[in-house]
Structure 1
């Protein structure tokens, strides 16, 4: 193999690796995510034990987390304060989650027909016995176009729409679904606020006790 051939062979390997990484990152945003993919993303993964001894979970912190979740479990989405929304985001940061590009009709909280399959896949995944008993956060996000007040309300209505659909269509328990809206405050692509990737619904499994099973 000549130096020229080696160079292009190396380029091909590098490109293949880059495409593989991109495909993995875009799994939840391709618009056609399956129930299996959602389930895999939301299932807590068993902790990997290394040479060091794993630090045991802090029971006090777990108790505080459970108490907080119970205070927002039956709350209406629009009643959550900014502090409560931030606390939910902080807790969700370390939990299994997936971003779904669920589109809605223009200036509306009605699910677009093209996105119904994604919501159906979500319903099937959350109905799986392996996730029974978990509490899920359904967080609505918008892009940066429009006022903060308008986008906040729109994200809340859209999160409520997803919850209503899951409860009515799949019989999920409403108290196991905590809805929250973040408007345009937590953009996925901060450099491109108008990018459709920012218009998403994030689903988080807040109960990770199944990770130890």
Structure 2
């Protein structure tokens, strides 16, 4: 490869990395750090009368905010399996515009036990969510599986895995349980729908549903 093409390849790789970070990137479980998670989940600065999402600023809609608050209040302290399909879809719709991060947290085969190789990623998540900059926020912890297997099996597995992450964060990092909403989506929201078996689909997505932390600064 010539020096010109080498420089071009490096610049292209760097540009791709920037794009991935700005969109709310997915990080490999072994490599993610608390700072990366914190930066992905930290709300943008908010000015009076304006709500800032991950990418764009929009006028505050009081009715929409009230609806969001009511939904979150209705699912706090609820068992993950008790959430209806409609509630899961409402949460997903709200989460679409919120700060989020996808973590490739692996579990033992057909199990909700966190694999040893992914334990560090979960610990980094615990450190990030304990940071004062995120104090007062409500987080959705969403479990996702790949596309292999039946709908029912994957739905149950994703719920149990989301519960495992929530329980770990509460027990090991003292996070408040009612501020963590665990939800399972099974194989209904594949990250790479063209490749259902891709490990990229097996992930835990964490979403910061509350922007009051930034608004109160």
> Once the 2 structures are TM-superposed, how far is the Cα of residue 20 of structure 1 from its aligned partner?
1.5
What is the root-mean-square deviation of aligned Cα atoms in Å?
1.9
Q: After the TM superposition, which parts of structure 1 deviate over 3 Å for at least 4 consecutive aligned residues?
A: 11-14, 21-24
Asked which structure has the greater CA Rg, the reply is 1
Question: 2: distance between equivalents of 1:189 and 1:21?
Answer: 21
In structure 2, the residue matched to 1:209 is 212
Kindly indicate whether the alpha-carbon contact (under 8 Å) linking 1:137 and 1:179 is maintained by their aligned counterparts in 2: yes
Structure 2: gaps (5+ residues): 51-56
Question: 2: distance between equivalents of 1:67 and 1:95?
Answer: 17
Q: Is residue 14 from structure 1 mapped to residue 17 from structure 2 by the alignment?
A: no
**More helix by percentage:** 1
TM-score (norm 1): 0.89
> Once the 2 structures are TM-superposed, how far is the Cα of residue 90 of structure 1 from its aligned partner?
0.3
Deviations 1:14-44 (A, max 9, x none): 3223211443427532221000100000001
TM-score (norm 2): 0.87
Deviations 1:31-90 (A, max 9, x none): 2100010000000122599xxxx7530111111110110001121101111111000000
3-state SS of 2:175 partner: coil
Deviations 1:104-134 (A, max 9, x none): 0011000000100000000000000111110
Kindly indicate whether the alpha-carbon contact (under 8 Å) linking 2:136 and 2:212 is maintained by their aligned counterparts in 1: no
Kindly indicate whether the alpha-carbon contact (under 8 Å) linking 2:142 and 2:162 is maintained by their aligned counterparts in 1: yes
The one of 68, 73, 76 aligned to 1:70: 73
